[in-house]
Amino acid sequence: MTEAVLQTRGLFKAFGALQATEDVSIELRPGEIHAVIGPNGAGKSTLIGQISGAIVPDAGAVLLGGRDVTALAVPGRAKAGLARTFQISQLAMEDTVLQNALLGALGAAGRPFDMLRPVARRGALRDRAEAALARVGLTDQARMRVAELSHGQRRQLEVAVALTLAPKCFVMDEPMAGLGTEGSARLTGLLDGLRAEAPILLVEHDMDAVFALADRISVLVYGRVIASGTVAEIRADPAVREAYLGDAA
Amino acid sequence: MSREAVFNLVVLAGLVALPLYAHLSDAPFTITLATRAVILSLAAVGLNIALGIGGLVSLGHAVFFGVGGYAMGILAFHAQTYAPLMEWPFVVEGTKSMPVIWLVAVVFSALVALGIGLLSLRTSGVYFIMITLAFGQMFYYFAISWSAYGGEDGMSIYVRNGFPGLNTLVPVQFYGLCLVLLCAALAFNAVLLRSPFGLALNAARQVPDRVRAVGLDPFRLRLLAFVISGAITGLAGALFADLNRFVSPTMFSWQLSGEFIVFIIIGGTARLFGPVAGAVLFVALEHFLGGVSDYWHIWFGLLLLGVVLFGRGGLIGVIAGRGRGHD
Amino acid sequence: MSLILIAEQVLNGLQFGIMLFLMAAGLTLIFGVMGLINLAHGSLYMVGAFCAAAVAAATGSFALGLVAALAGAAAAGALIELVVIRRLYDRDHLDQVLATFALILIFSEGTRWVFGSFPLYLDVPPALAGPVALPFGIQYPLYRLALIVIGLVVAAGLFWLIARTRIGVQIRAGENDREMIAALGVDIDRLYTFVFALGAALAGLAGALVGAIQSVQVGMGEPVLILAFVTIVIGGIGSIKGALIGALLVGLTETLGSVFLPELFKLFMAPAAATQTGASLSSMAIYILMAMVLIWRPTGLFGARA
Amino acid sequence: MNFKTLAKTVAMGGAVCAALATAAAAEVKVGMITTLSGGGAGLGIDVRDGFLLALEQSGRDDIEVVIEDDQRKPDVAVQLADKLVQSEKVDVLTGIIWSNLAMAVVPSVTAQGKFYLSPNAGPSQLAGRGCHPNYFNVAWQNDAYHEAAGAYAAADGSKKAFVLAPNYPAGQDAITGFKRGFGGEIAAEVYTKLGQTDYAAEIAQIRASDADILYYFLPGGMGISFMKQYSGSGAEVPVIGPAFSFDQGILGAIGDAALGVKNTAHWSKDLDVPGNAEFVASFSEKYGRLPSIYAAQGFDTALLLVSATAAADVTDADAFRAALKAADFQSVRGAFKFADNHHPIQTIYMREVIKEGDVVTNRLVGPAAEDYADPYGVDCKM
């Protein structure tokens, strides 16, 4: 077995009496898309928070490329190679598409305290940002303000910003959220190609996308991983059928 | 060229042409008034870096203004009394040289901003507004009871400090000096906006989570912005003290902090020239309305209310059309 | 320093804190329910004091003055809510700060225009004048004791209103979710006007009660306003309980600090220098307290976690 | 565009002879910077009204007054002084109420060769090392009331004093001045926060002390708050103070609580000197309120100005200065002359707060310090 790029070991987190995650251990291996699914309130957001560094776990560890990053905050984990996208787009609405991508490139390059040279003249940043935009198909929109973009284009930009980081792995929080069939299909195609660059931990509600993309699936219910395996294994798992998919599936 | 750029040029041209007009019409006081407007503009340009770009609503920026003012007051006071500022471990003399005073003012207000920023940037929103206000009050009461430097009475400096090659006692020359500094600050602000730091700070105001997620720390970005902002406002404080040849604790008052914000809003938030337009308008209103009625604050209050409620985008917004809002 | 003096100073701190609570409660309620930061709250305090002074002078009755203070401040509050404040709920804090800063200017100069530039007369009612003997030989002004009692009664009433009444349920719901209570069929505009007027009335009551032992003059509201803000920031914005605890903390710090800090410095400094240093430090004490609380807990003692 | 009050009244037949004799004198332009808005406006308004009343009564139509509101802000005052000097080109300035504003304005305007007549503030710096030939204080040096009160208390048999003042320079000067005049034991010396409104803590300390006299200097609203709280506290230490806390403008707000309090002033409305009764009557008639010490000071300042402009041309600085120094006018306070540092030598009286019908006011008790001259004059080299 190849070594996991991203690994969680026994993550626990409680909010008061509510146990949001309980002993969650999952692995993301090179080249794969690993989907995490589960009903609302299953603890998916808490899990993403703990992986990205926004939420400090009560117990457990997060490893990135074999290195324990549990003590790092969000920026540190991003620098270590973890790129995340948000369920609700986190984009600077007043800025242009290119500027948003540049922000990612700047984060990857470090040195954000340069205040005398215009960003536009830092060729390396610009190349990186434009390459990411081209990858998601937003080259023509580069000079538009984010506020003028359609919802689907914003979801693409979310991915582009993550791409500028050239990360070791992606953590995507419901990238399909709010998309129609067409947009969903386009993004599915995009993510499909991305796994070659870095593996993706995909939290998603859109089951069509999940079954189309995922190499493996983990099912989270009430904060626990009740099943983990290939798509076929999960489809066949009786516990999953009962707890989550119901008999309809 | 956009209408905003035209407006900016007109403002700048007006500020440059003003001494000529004052000279021709023999109205030296107009220059004094304009100097006041230019210095207050500089203070507000400083605040605008924190507030307009960084979204940090500081209700305590008068602290830096006051620190700059007292830097001037203390140095000049020791120079005019020939008493060294300190003798141990090495002798520090007072000075009447503006460049030295400016340097000290900038360094000290930056240090104070660093200290206040480290503590208050841990909070956000209303808490940030209030903790900066509290720091302002702390400095205000400290200055009032600091009897070595005049306490509430403040300090008078009898002769304006000097600048190599200029006679600063001539109003036009001092005005020119202030205007050059204002232009330098505006140019710096313009460059900053396009720089990586400007980009990151701007994003940290709009989407701090995103900024973190790409590996940058909004706290550090804001802290640096706060320090730069404080340093510029501190420089303005030193100039203001020199304009009046006087410093007092009122330079620390929270009302003054409020007025700085007022300048930015009535001018136009996050516009490069917003603080300038606002400060010039404010000084003009204070001068003319103050002459019309004892109760001019009522009219000023109503005007301010009108701008906030209906004239979003401030003066520049009205003239140049909507830019980006500040929310 | 005798124990009696210490006990008396603690009472003074309590009394000060309780009055501060009346101011802070309105501020924190308005922030909690409407998310509005209201710098003009001090002006409502002033309006209350001026109404009380004017009516008490005209009728000779302090009680009628208090009624006038409540009514006047509530009316002024409702008026500015309808005309100005209502437009600010959806704005950011910056606009709110600016607009209410403008209201301060309008109220202050407007009051001076109506009542003139000289302080007004408002005194303690004869029935409450003079000192009263408490156990352990403490002599304490009856009126101040009455203030503590009135303040506690109002505080209890406020807690009851919020915990037990229908309107309290709406207020608590409003703090959590605006759309939710609109969905429940509550007239949100009326609720907001009511909450604002309630906060204003509390401020006006404080202004009138305190005005009787202080000076009824233009600008009296601003120092109290700043203290009230310090109070709610310490207590946690939006929390009535936080406002009460914060007010008592600020009241005690302010009162005890001004008495004991100079004494403390006298232990190791020359008396004159100690008096001055102590006085300087005590005037900064509550701001230092606030900074320390915020460094420890950035959203105050009882504030919602960010 | 400017708020100009042109004090031009038609010269009447009965106008002062001296004024007629020099009717050919050039116009004199006076700039008045005073506090007309905000919390301290009452004092500035009284000075202005007293000043204009005297000018009107003098019948002089060659004195023009430009009045500006400093909002009690030092930087505004400095700016207005620049405006009056540079733009209005005034010859004489006056009007400032507060010591800190005076310190900000006076040194620079006198350095520019203008005359300044102080109708209220008298900081010690300007009486001592910082004195200036063109600066005349028509009211009092700041220490005067305090020192006279101390002397009176000592002469009255008080042995141990409790002193209280805000923690700012004027407060520290007040306590120093009182102690100098008193000379006796000090039970405690308490500094309060400037602008403080609640004095419960201090009052408790006073009650717990064994002082037999309480001296406090708390100008404006601070004094109103203190006195109301003190009288309700059951504390029985007798109170003495400077007139600033017991003047006509604020007695109305303190009410009966102030009755019986002794306070020092250089003037009282029942002072029996020529012209005073007429001043009180005409002021009350014109403005509908009793004059305060500030009104009397404004009135005297204008009288001094009128007398000097009658004797000398303002453009001849030396002659005009000599005319001011001569102080050839009938002050409503009685005997009045300038010491070498251009500060008054005058009698400071003790007054007592009483009730006349419904009006709380002051009555004269007697002199507290006769021919008082401030102690800073020795440092004045001019």
Q: Would you call B154 and D111 a contact, using CB atoms and an 8 Å cutoff?
A: no
Write out chain C residues lying below 8 Å of B142, CB-based.
Answer: 280, 284
Looking at the structure, tell me whether residues A98 and A52 fall in a common domain.
Answer: no
Cα C89 from Cα A24, distance rounded (Å): 42
What average pLDDT does range D115-134 have in this prediction?
Answer: 91
Looking at the structure, tell me whether residues D255 and D375 fall in a common domain.
Answer: yes
Asked whether the predicted pLDDT for residue D11 surpasses 70, the reply is no
Asked whether residue A77 is assigned to any structural domain, the reply reads no
B125 vs C: CB within 8 A: yes
- Is the Cα torsion angle C92, C98, C104, C110 positive or negative in sign? negative
Looking at the structure, tell me whether residues A136 and A94 fall in a common domain.
Answer: yes
What average pLDDT does range C141-159 have in this prediction?
Answer: 92
Higher pLDDT pick, A240 / A27: A27
- Is the Cα torsion angle D232, D238, D244, D248 positive or negative in sign? positive
What percentage of chain B has pLDDT greater than the value 90? 50
Looking at the structure, tell me whether residues A174 and A160 fall in a common domain.
Answer: no
Cα C255 from Cα C262, distance rounded (Å): 12
What's the pLDDT at A246? Answer: 56
Specify the CATH number for the domain of residue D15: 3.40.50.2300
Q: How far is CA C158 from CA A3, C13, C153, C171, C243, in A?
A: 62, 21, 9, 12, 12
Q: Would you call B129 and C276 a contact, using CB atoms and an 8 Å cutoff?
A: no
User: What rounded mean pLDDT belongs to chain B?
Assistant: 88
Range of the domain at A132: 82-166
**Pick from B32, B36, B153: which is nearest to D169 by CB?**
B153
Higher pLDDT pick, A118 / A161: A161
pLDDT bracket for residue D22 (50, 70, 90): very low
Task: Write the single-letter amino acid at C163.
Answer: A
A117 vs B: CB within 8 A: yes
Cα D74 from Cα B151, distance rounded (Å): 13
B33 vs D: CB within 8 A: yes
In angstroms, the separation between the Cα of residue D168 and the nearest Cα of chain C is: 9
Looking at the structure, tell me whether residues D239 and D278 fall in a common domain.
Answer: no
> Is there contact between B and A if contact means ≥3 C-beta pairs under 8 Å?
yes
What's the pLDDT at A122? Answer: 82
Asked whether residue C301 is assigned to any structural domain, the reply reads no
Domain count, chain D: 2
Looking at the structure, tell me whether residues A21 and A65 fall in a common domain.
Answer: yes
Asked whether the predicted pLDDT for residue D5 surpasses 60, the reply is no
pLDDT bracket for residue A90 (50, 70, 90): very high
Asked whether residue C303 is assigned to any structural domain, the reply reads no
**Pick from D190, D202, D228: which is nearest to C123 by CB?**
D228
Domain count, chain C: 1
- Is the Cα torsion angle A132, A136, A139, A141 positive or negative in sign? negative
- Is the Cα torsion angle D213, D219, D222, D224 positive or negative in sign? positive
Asked whether the predicted pLDDT for residue B78 surpasses 60, the reply is yes
State residue D350 phi and psi, 5-degree precision: -100, 135
What's the pLDDT at D61? Answer: 85
What average pLDDT does range C125-141 have in this prediction?
Answer: 82
What average pLDDT does range D61-78 have in this prediction?
Answer: 87
Lowest model confidence (mean pLDDT) among B208-217, C118-127, C141-150, D151-160: C118-127
D83 vs B: CB within 8 A: yes
Question: Residue A82: helix, strand or coil by DSSP?
Answer: strand
Looking at the structure, tell me whether residues D240 and D371 fall in a common domain.
Answer: yes
Asked whether the predicted pLDDT for residue A2 surpasses 90, the reply is no
What average pLDDT does range A122-130 have in this prediction?
Answer: 90
Tokens of B29: 């006081």
- Choose the mutation target among C134, C136, C147, C217 for the interface with D, i.e. most D CBs under 10 Å: C217
Question: Residues, chain C, total?
Answer: 306
Cα B308 from Cα D195, distance rounded (Å): 31
Non-local (6+) Cβ contacts of A150 within 8 A are none
What's the pLDDT at A144? Answer: 93
What's the pLDDT at D116? Answer: 96
Write out chain B residues lying below 8 Å of C291, CB-based.
Answer: 119-120, 131, 134-135, 138
What's the pLDDT at B1? Answer: 64
Tokens of D182: 């008193």
Lowest model confidence (mean pLDDT) among B82-86, C46-50, D377-381: B82-86
Non-local (6+) Cβ contacts of A183 within 8 A are A151, A152, A155, A176
pLDDT bracket for residue B106 (50, 70, 90): very high
Give residue-wise pLDDT tens across range B208-255: 999 999 999 999 999 999 999 999 999 999 999 999 888 989 999 988
**Pick from D36, D75, D100: which is nearest to B152 by CB?**
D100
pLDDT bracket for residue D12 (50, 70, 90): very low
Looking at the structure, tell me whether residues D66 and D170 fall in a common domain.
Answer: no
Q: Would you call B304 and C101 a contact, using CB atoms and an 8 Å cutoff?
A: yes
DSSP state of A202: E
Specify the CATH number for the domain of residue C77: 1.10.3470
Residue B17 belongs to what H/E stretch? helix B3-24
Looking at the structure, tell me whether residues A174 and A190 fall in a common domain.
Answer: yes
| Nearest-10 crossing angle of helices C3-34, C188-211 | 160
Range of the domain at D280: 4-140+271-338
Residue appearing with tokens 């010396």? D189
Looking at the structure, tell me whether residues D256 and D317 fall in a common domain.
Answer: no
> Is there contact between A and D if contact means ≥3 C-beta pairs under 8 Å?
no
A115 vs B: CB within 8 A: yes
Q: Would you call C213 and D232 a contact, using CB atoms and an 8 Å cutoff?
A: yes
D306, D313 contact by CB (below 8 A): no
Write out chain D residues lying below 8 Å of C259, CB-based.
Answer: 201, 204-205
Report CA dihedral (B282, B288, B289, B292) to the nearest 10 degrees.
Answer: 170
B147 vs C: CB within 8 A: yes
Range of the domain at C127: 3-296
Report the complex ipTM. Answer: 0.82
Of A166, A193, A225, the residue that ends a domain is A166
| Nearest-10 crossing angle of helices D276-287, D41-58 | 110
**Pick from A112, A117, A119: which is nearest to B216 by CB?**
A112
D360, D266 contact by CB (below 8 A): no
Asked whether the predicted pLDDT for residue A248 surpasses 60, the reply is no
Q: Would you call D197 and C218 a contact, using CB atoms and an 8 Å cutoff?
A: no
User: Which stretches does DSSP call E strand in D107-183?
Assistant: 115-118, 135-137, 160-166
Non-local (6+) Cβ contacts of B178 within 8 A are B35, B38, B39, B42, B239, B243
pLDDT bracket for residue C1 (50, 70, 90): low
**Pick from C31, C95, C98: which is nearest to B126 by CB?**
C31
Looking at the structure, tell me whether residues D174 and D286 fall in a common domain.
Answer: no
pLDDT bracket for residue C178 (50, 70, 90): low
Write out chain D residues lying below 8 Å of C215, CB-based.
Answer: 197, 220-222, 224-225, 228, 250, 253
User: What rounded mean pLDDT belongs to chain C?
Assistant: 87
Cα B35 from Cα D79, distance rounded (Å): 11
Give residue-wise pLDDT tens across range D206-257: 988 899 999 999 887 888 889 988 988 888 899 999 998 888 888 888 888 8
Q: Would you call B295 and C102 a contact, using CB atoms and an 8 Å cutoff?
A: no
Asked whether residue A150 is assigned to any structural domain, the reply reads yes
B246 vs D: CB within 8 A: yes
Looking at the structure, tell me whether residues D97 and D246 fall in a common domain.
Answer: no
Give residue-wise pLDDT tens across range B170-184: 888 999 999 999 999
Lowest model confidence (mean pLDDT) among A16-30, B64-78, B158-172, B186-200: B158-172
Tokens of B278: 């606002």
**Pick from B192, B216, B324: which is nearest to A107 by CB?**
B216
Looking at the structure, tell me whether residues A230 and A126 fall in a common domain.
Answer: no
Looking at the structure, tell me whether residues A162 and A90 fall in a common domain.
Answer: yes
Write out chain D residues lying below 8 Å of C122, CB-based.
Answer: 253
pLDDT bracket for residue B132 (50, 70, 90): very high
Asked whether the predicted pLDDT for residue C69 surpasses 90, the reply is yes
Looking at the structure, tell me whether residues D121 and D173 fall in a common domain.
Answer: no
Question: Residue D242: helix, strand or coil by DSSP?
Answer: strand
Buried b (16+ CB within 10 A) or exposed e, C81-112: beebbbebeebbbbbbbbbbbbbbbbbbbbbb
Cα C16 from Cα C108, distance rounded (Å): 24
Higher pLDDT pick, D38 / C238: C238
- Is the Cα torsion angle A185, A186, A191, A193 positive or negative in sign? positive
Write out chain B residues lying below 8 Å of A99, CB-based.
Answer: 199, 203
Give residue-wise pLDDT tens across range D315-360: 899 999 999 999 999 999 999 999 999 999 999 999 999 998 888 9
Where exactly are the structural domains of chain B? 27-253
What average pLDDT does range B91-100 have in this prediction?
Answer: 86
Looking at the structure, tell me whether residues A215 and A229 fall in a common domain.
Answer: yes
Asked whether residue C305 is assigned to any structural domain, the reply reads no
Write out chain C residues lying below 8 Å of D228, CB-based.
Answer: 123-124, 212-215
Cα B234 from Cα B105, distance rounded (Å): 6
pLDDT bracket for residue D21 (50, 70, 90): very low
pTM recorded for the entire structure: 0.85
Specify the CATH number for the domain of residue A96: 3.40.50.300
